[in-house]
Amino acid sequence: MTNSVQEELATTMKGRDFLMLQDYTPQEIRYLIDLAIDLKQKQKAGVEHHVLKGKTLGMIFEKSSTRTRVSFEVGMYQLGGQALFLSRNDLQIGRGETVWDTAQTLSRYLDGIMIRTFAHRNVIELARGATVPVINGLTDLSHPCQALADYQTILEHKGRLEGLKIAYVGDGNNMVHSLLMGAAKLGLHMSVATPEGYEPDADVIRQTQETAAGTGSRIHVCRDPREAVADADVVYTDVWASMGFEAEQKERELAFASYQVNDELMKGAKKDYLFMHCLPAHRGEEVSEGVIDGNHSIIFDQAENRLHAQKAIMAAIM
């Protein structure tokens, strides 16, 4: 990417929301990844990069979090700004104030808003009402910050993205939705294996396949984990019962019993495969200890890169 293109993107991305990867072009996503890597190198070298000095991010949490809260809060500090933690109990939105009124009010105080919530419509409504950039920290439909960090991590380990195959085994949840769109935008091939009834959202699959047609990516959804994992460069899984679905834990354990990522399944992947998991993980359920704690696992590189990827998002749009 030339300097002139980078300068143009740095200008055009200011003030935008970061709600889903679908909203960004392949070039814009790659710009964010490259910016994340640059900010990571600066942080490791002790080089000050206070590009958001004097700015403030409001962080609305309707879902609890470890990685999201700490990485955004530390990220704003490293960028020279300040983050405010706002739980549902801290806001009038928890007592009936509309999302629109909350967005309008917070926009008068803040330079950006991050929200981690349940229904995706909450993020959409917040962005419509806000006059400052809104960042999707997680919804039931998508997890774009994690996916951006994941593709940064793959690039760092593999040296490229285009043409690699990523296999996802497990629940067709918000995580796989964002991974699918990222793969289609960036030219990776992706295979997803889920039990019947737990497939990714049909509209997401359709949009992803339409995008893939223009980038040379191949998107495949199947039932057989072995089919999905065959010759994979990256194998990814997530918990069987995401936050909000805990009541279905026993039912899901039965449905996903043959979908554990373990050493036997990994025999079908490439010899130098990477194992990824967005965490938190349940060892012995969706993944065996031998895989998640083995030499191919890069789960904590992923976790670290949440910090750097989110710093890139904030630096680019705020």
144-302 and 3-142+305-317 share a CATH fold: yes
pLDDT at 64: 86
Of 301, 158, 146, the C-alpha closest to 234 is 158
In this predicted model, what pLDDT tens digit does every residue of 63-85 receive, in sequence order? Answer: 989 999 999 999 999 999 999 99
CATH top-level class for 144-302? alpha beta
Residues belonging to the active site: 116, 143, 146, 238, 278, 306
Superfamily of domain 3-142+305-317 in CATH is Aspartate/ornithine carbamoyltransferase (3.40.50.1370)
Distance between CA atoms of residues 230 and 34, nearest Å: 30
pLDDT at 94: 61
pLDDT at 131: 98
pLDDT at 218: 98
Please give the average per-residue pLDDT across 254-262, as a whole number.
97
pLDDT at 38: 98
In this predicted model, what pLDDT tens digit does every residue of 146-163 receive, in sequence order? Answer: 999 999 999 999 999 999
> Per-domain residue ranges for the chain?
3-142+305-317, 144-302
In this predicted model, what pLDDT tens digit does every residue of 99-109 receive, in sequence order? Answer: 999 999 999 99
Please give the average per-residue pLDDT across 8-25, as a whole number.
96
Regarding predicted confidence, which is higher, 130 or 243?
A: 130
In this predicted model, what pLDDT tens digit does every residue of 206-242 receive, in sequence order? Answer: 999 999 999 999 999 999 999 999 999 999 999 998 8
Regarding predicted confidence, which is higher, 111 or 2?
A: 111
Beta strands in the chain (DSSP E): 56-61, 82-87, 112-116, 134-138, 165-169, 189-193, 219-222, 234-237, 274-277
Q: What pTM was estimated for this model as a whole?
A: 0.97
Output the DSSP codes for 238-259: --SS-TT-GGGHHHHHHHTTT-
